[in-house]
Amino acid sequence: MKKLLFSMALTLLSANGFAQEILGKWLTEAGDAQVEIYQEGNTLNGKIIWLEKGPDTKDSHNSDKSLRNRNLMGVHILSGLTKKKDRWEGGKIYNPKNGKTYKCSIWMDGKDLKVRGYVGFLHETQTWKRK
């Protein structure tokens, strides 16, 4: 019984340790936005905390016309990512440059964060740098 409890505790700690690598502030590949990734329960989410164009930049490409006047600062662009082996998957990423939302997965590649948005078998992967 002690071995089982110890094994379960190690599993939980290793999952949390894996998340710790990803948590924090990341500069997008284009360098025009900074995203803070944080954990809520068993999921990872991310929101915009800095924009090169300034805090009053609007979400002008949003497919929902009623959201086009909102500021992008604070918008949650990553949501619902859950741990699967060495990646966080099953979530969504919002691309404010075209106003579309895609399925998403993220993972560490050395010190960098790989962020992949995809539709079906088509995908694009970006490399984000720690801020």
pLDDT in tens, 20-51: 799 999 999 999 999 999 999 999 999 999 99
pLDDT, average across residues 64-74: 97
Instruction: Please give the model's pTM, rounded to 2 decimal places.
Output: 0.83
**Tell me, what's the pLDDT at 69?**
97
Query: Would you say residue 131 has pLDDT above 70?
Result: yes
- Architecture of the domain made up of 2-130: Beta Barrel (2.40)
Alpha-carbon distances, residue 51 vs 39, 59, 114, 120 (angstroms): 22, 12, 20, 30
Q: Are 38 and 76 in contact (CB under 8 A)?
A: no
Domain locations in the chain as residue ranges: 2-130
Residue labelled with tokens 């016309």: 65
Confidence of residue 8 (pLDDT cuts 50, 70, 90): very low
- Alpha-carbon span 131 to 46, nearest angstrom: 14
